[in-house]
Structure 1
Amino acid sequence: MTVVNHAALAVSTVIFALRPDDASALKTLWLPLVRRTRQPHEGQWALPGGWLPDAEQLADAAARTLHETTSLAPTYLEQLFTFGDVGRSPGHRVVSVVYWALVQSDEAARAAEGENVRWFAADQLPGLAFDHNKIVEYALWRLRTKVEYSRIAHAFLGDTFTLTQLREVHEAVLRRPLDPANFRRTLESSGTLVDTGRHVAGARHRPARLYRYDDSDAHSGHGPSGAPAPPHT
């Protein structure tokens, strides 16, 4: 006789925002976590998420559970990967469809925080419930890979931005300083940015120029065809 074991389906979300580091005041990647209030892993921190109802679409479930736990409603929400290793959840098999979201600093400041919701530096996480450390590690690798060839940094900024603001996003994501002159030359030669002809309002001396991404068909791609292979874990 064949025994069929049905796996439970869940959604989780990794949310990245840029927040100042307490020690250096430089912007670094942070993410909100929720404290589990029941077993398994009661008391441990975990990614926002929940079970997938039969009548709800995946993206809708990810957005709903994210808003219920953190009050965040990011505009950038993308499916990241599906994690379904045997044994990742005690008791029965759980397959988690993981989304990732990128939010601007002002939106992140409005996120609900409390005893069971807290922001953590993405590179200094405690031991999380289930395999959530592995999930965050994958999301960080994916973000750092994608920021090098796509316009994903735009999700951390407004519609217009200065080159300095854009460079600071790249530096925070990549965790290394970038030469301003080389960064400017690379972007100007890429043809992906458009000078709006406007400057930062209220700035002293020489106000910085404001740019936006070119939305024409010639520059609307997200990068090379095919996603990079995930790192070996």
Structure 2
Amino acid sequence: MPYDPSAFPPFAVTVDLVVLTVRRHELCALAVRRGEPPFQGRWALPGGFVLPDEDLASAAARELAEETGLRVHETDGHQVGAHLEQLATYGEPDRDPRMRVVSVAHLVLAPDLPAPTSGGDAQTARWAAVSTLLPGPSGVRPAESGHTSALAFDHERILTDGVERARSKIEYSSLATAFCPPEFTVGELRRVYEAVWDVALDPRNFHRKVTGTPGFLVPTGGTTTRQGGRPAQLFRAGGATLLNPPMLRPEL
């Protein structure tokens, strides 16, 4: 039997972005207030429809720049300014009231990013503490029957998945350094782990673990007093992508 594409209903593809940074020692996500229906006036994750001539990564970078003024680009095949990766695909039939829409969500991690600027169909763009967007212990909303999401579409689920991806990946990879400037102290790195995991860590144990993990950190030879007090040694990210042993998340 010949294949007939017209027998299948058309659907659109979008990209949604979970953009996470650490601001004032707190894990924050980028949120935009929608300027157009559906969900006009509601907060949402930045994103939009994939254009016919775009691949998914290009669409994600374009939407991030259009709606917020933030840019992720590559030089010699390496990302500059932020970490960008695909998170998951969301395709429930009723997730968008306009039509059948499949979204490929992306996770973006970057150091203390500047205040975003609004554009596209976004009225306002802002950094919001994850704990305010996903109420509940450690920024995870408890399963409640009949509760209304603070975010448009299924973006609460996407944000929850993105936060958990970040929390789990910094256990076994060097991804936590993506939240840090090119040169950072062990104390600054510890505060990233504390913000992402929403825990307090013992400074001495943390210092011993991260400096004793092969390939995790490389001393730069410099020091800084930007944290106040005695000069602290500066490090940069090492070449390791997987941590052995891993930095296990404390049990709450």
Sort the TM-score into its range (normalised by shorter chain): 0.7 to 0.9
What is the one-letter code of the residue matched to 1:207?
A: P
Following superposition, the deviation at residue 37 of structure 1 comes to: 2.1
Q: TM-score, normalised by structure 2?
A: 0.77
Counterpart for residue 228 of structure 1:
none
Q: In 2, distance between residues paired with 1:69 and 1:45?
A: 13
Counterpart for residue 87 of structure 2:
80
CA 51–223 in structure 1, closer or farther in 2 if over 3 Å, else same: farther
What is the one-letter code of the residue matched to 1:195?
A: P
What is the one-letter code of the residue matched to 1:31?
A: A
The structure 1 segments of at least 4 consecutive aligned residues displaced by more than 6 Å after TM superposition are none
Deviations 1:171-204 (A, max 9, x none): 0000000001111111122112122222116787
Q: In 1, distance between residues paired with 2:202 and 2:13?
A: 45
Deviations 1:54-102 (A, max 9, x none): 1011111111111111101143211111111221112421100111111
Q: What are the within-5 Å matches in structure 2 for residues 101-116 of structure 1?
A: 101-105=108-112, 108-112=113-117, 115-116=123-124
The one of 103, 128, 131 aligned to 1:96: 103
Q: Which runs of 5+ in 1 are unaligned?
A: 21-26, 225-233
Q: In 2, distance between residues paired with 1:177 and 1:202?
A: 21
Following superposition, the deviation at residue 15 of structure 1 comes to: 0.7
Counterpart for residue 155 of structure 1:
178
Q: TM-score, normalised by structure 1?
A: 0.83
CA 121–202 in structure 1, closer or farther in 2 if over 3 Å, else same: closer
Mean alpha-carbon deviation: is it higher for 47-56 or for 109-118?
109-118
Mean alpha-carbon deviation: is it higher for 132-141 or for 119-128?
119-128
Q: Which runs of 5+ in 2 are unaligned?
A: 73-81, 134-148, 245-252
Q: What are the within-5 Å matches in structure 2 for residues 205-224 of structure 1?
A: 206-215=230-239, 219=240, 221-222=241-242
Counterpart for residue 17 of structure 1:
21
The one of 177, 180, 183 aligned to 2:203: 180
Matched, 1:166 2:189: yes
Quote the RMSD (CA, aligned, Å): 2.2
Q: What secondary structure is seen at the aligned counterpart in 2 of 1:147?
A: helix
The one of 210, 218, 221 aligned to 1:197: 221
Q: In 2, distance between residues paired with 1:223 and 1:90?
A: 43
Matched, 1:68 2:62: no
Matched, 1:137 2:141: no
What is the one-letter code of the residue matched to 2:18?
A: V
Q: In 2, distance between residues paired with 1:40 and 1:3?
A: 28
What is the one-letter code of the residue matched to 2:193?
A: H
Q: In 2, distance between residues paired with 1:204 and 1:130?
A: 44
Deviations 1:103-153 (A, max 9, x none): 221xx2242169522221112116111100000000011110011111111
What is the one-letter code of the residue matched to 1:37?
A: G
What is the one-letter code of the residue matched to 1:149?
A: Y
CA 69–208 in structure 1, closer or farther in 2 if over 3 Å, else same: same
- Number of positions where the alignment pairs a residue of Structure 1 with one of Structure 2: 212
Percentage of matched positions with identical amino acids? 39
